[in-house]
Amino acid sequence: MSTLRIGVLICAVGLGNTACTATGGIRENFYLPSSQEAQKLPLRVVLVTDSAMKTQRLTLRNMMRGDTIEVNLHPGLINAVRGELAAVFQDVTIVESAKQAKEQDLLAIPTMSFEQSDPLGQGFKSQIKLTFKDIRSGTLVTSYDQTAVRIIPPPGTGEVLGQAAMAGATLGLLLPLALHQQATSQLERTALSLEEGIAQSLRTISSDIQGDRTWTLYLAGKLPGIGESTVAAVPRAPAAPMSDVDTLPTGKSVSRKSAYAVVIGIEQYRENLPKAEFAARDAKLVGEYLSKTLGFPEGNVAVLLNERATRSDMEKYLESWLPNRIEKDSTVFVYFSGHGAPNPKTGDAYLVPYDGDPTFVDKTGYSLKRLYEQLGALPTKEVVVVLDSCFSGAGGRSVIAKGTRPLAISVENPVLATGKMAVLSASSGAQISTTYMEKGHGLLTYFFLKGLQGEADWNKDGVIELTEVFQYVKPNVELVARREFNTEQTPQLLGGTEMLKRGVRLFERAAP
């Protein structure tokens, strides 16, 4: 058994009654942490693992057969938590008691629970919670909670008996050996499913940490009960400024159960590319607006940040996750904040994923043509795309291969005339999309969210349409770009005339 170590296996065979107990464990180093190249929070963390966690295990019981399968979690689980935190924070140390903490900034206290979700012993639910406290004041900073449900595929009877027979079992030993093989095979499946569940939860928590504005406040000493003096004097990156759009509107939109969104924000790139300032922060906030203000169910919003937004991630969510969920009456929202790039040979525009390289953009980028074709083929009611990016390669939120000149790139495409897709882009032609440093967001994103807060509701009817947002965004972006950055930036709204005339509702105030 390559995936785990079997410690104990007992099988009892009687007339009409069979019971097996198997014990094993997840692999000690099964987990591959996130990329260490992502920008880390300049904080030192103590991971507290008490004796209870060291002895924690998952127990599954098959009520029909009486089988029991136990999977030990330590130390594989602890190593996984430490590895993922080390990809997010400057330093992570494991201790068995909070009293052992010395010069660190934070206590990270993991609590984990596992329960059976299937009486046949083929499924379980795992819950991982990480709580962070300021080490000097003991004040709660924040916490993250993730649940994963896993279904364990059972081994087939033919498979089990066949393996037992191939092992040279006589007829009298065939059944016990088959039961032995079934228990161990099921244990392997359980351990692998558990590893997948833990990995899924930890990566989601890590993504939440990277996009959480709480850490900006913590580093600035602005959280209640935590002053600047309580935070250790370690080198810190400049805190992102807070702005008015960071506070979500109090009004709620009507529920949109069949609305789905893919939100992508890439600030740090694997290749040595310039930062797209505040892009991940943009996307995180847009995701919050969608799920907490605009009526999208939280489970219908996929937010991909930094190293979670590789080309394969974009392909997965845009070309599989979305098509597998939407229906004919669904609405789709796609947002991208990060670098764009031109293909100098073809003049095509590309989104640059986390692992993208503008020198080989046709192989490592995700083209707008492909994006439009994928979204245009969806059997949906309407699709809205917001691009806080540019594609000329002249700077701003765009990059280009070394030795090539910037191009005038259009984001238009014949697919947009099909009547069910609209695109709001940050700029046009050879222009660049700028960052509103004072507000801590991309210039387009800032005014887009400002419009959703109610500024775009010209007639105060409680409905905010895409065209209203554009009418608000365009003059404000042009004004600030010219006044603050001495540049021209003209947002575009592209799409079928009938669709735009019909109206695309982004917000519709719910009844009190």
Q: 215 and 290: one domain?
A: no
Q: 289 and 424: one domain?
A: yes
Q: 298 and 345: one domain?
A: yes
- Cα separation of 349 and 105, whole Å? 44
Q: 257 and 156: one domain?
A: no
Note whether residue 397 is domain-resident: yes
pLDDT attached to residue 352: 94
Q: 71 and 182: one domain?
A: yes
Mean pLDDT of 64-85: 80
Q: 171 and 265: one domain?
A: no
pLDDT tens column, 87-143? 888 888 887 777 776 678 888 888 888 777 766 656 777 788 889 988 878 888 999
Say yes or no to pLDDT of 181 above 80.
no
Residue 266 tokens read as: 């890439």
Strand partners, 134: 106
Residue with tokens 């979204």: 375
pLDDT tens column, 420-466? 889 999 988 778 889 999 999 999 999 999 999 999 998 899 999 99
Note whether residue 181 is domain-resident: yes
CB contact at 8 A, 277 and 267: yes
Query: Mean pLDDT for the chain?
Result: 80
CB contact at 8 A, 421 and 415: yes
Q: 143 and 180: one domain?
A: yes
Confidence of residue 147 (pLDDT cuts 50, 70, 90): confident
Provide the percentage of residues in the chain whose pLDDT is more than 90.
34
Residue 151 tokens read as: 């279904």
Residue 115 tokens read as: 């329960």
Strand partners, 425: 387, 492
Note whether residue 343 is domain-resident: yes
Note whether residue 282 is domain-resident: yes
- Cα separation of 80 and 78, whole Å? 5
Q: 98 and 207: one domain?
A: yes
**Residue 463 is part of a domain; what is its CATH number?**
3.40.50.1460
CB contact at 8 A, 385 and 340: no
**Residue ending a domain, choose from 204, 219, 234:** 219
Note whether residue 388 is domain-resident: yes
Q: 408 and 267: one domain?
A: yes
Mean pLDDT of 149-154: 69
Say yes or no to pLDDT of 297 above 80.
yes
CA distances (Å), 458 to each of 7, 245, 253, 467, 480, in order? 69, 18, 17, 11, 21
Within 10 A of 75 (CB to CB), how many other CB atoms are there?
A: 17
- Torsion sign (Cα): 445, 446, 451, 454: positive
Residue 47 tokens read as: 């991971």
Say yes or no to pLDDT of 287 above 90.
yes
Q: 215 and 295: one domain?
A: no
Say how many residues make up the chain.
512
Note whether residue 455 is domain-resident: yes
Note whether residue 230 is domain-resident: no
Count of domains for the chain: 2
pLDDT attached to residue 399: 78
Q: How many CA atoms lie within 13 A of 438 on its CB side?
A: 5
- Cα separation of 461 and 465, whole Å? 11
Strand partners, 108: 47, 132
CA distances (Å), 101 to each of 47, 223, 448, in order? 9, 22, 44
Task: Give the contacts of 367 (CB within 8 A, at least 6 positions apart).
Answer: 343, 348, 349, 350, 351
Mean pLDDT of 75-79: 84
Q: 167 and 250: one domain?
A: no
Q: Which domain holds residue 340?
A: 244-505
Confidence of residue 229 (pLDDT cuts 50, 70, 90): very low
Say yes or no to pLDDT of 491 above 80.
yes
Confidence of residue 200 (pLDDT cuts 50, 70, 90): confident
Task: Give the contacts of 80 (CB within 8 A, at least 6 positions apart).
Answer: 30, 31, 33, 198, 199, 202
Q: 212 and 254: one domain?
A: no
Say yes or no to pLDDT of 305 above 50.
yes
pLDDT attached to residue 160: 39
Burial of 328 (0-12, 13-18, 19+ CB in 10 A): exposed
Note whether residue 12 is domain-resident: yes
Mapped onto helix, strand or coil, the DSSP state of residue 82 is helix
Say yes or no to pLDDT of 161 above 80.
no
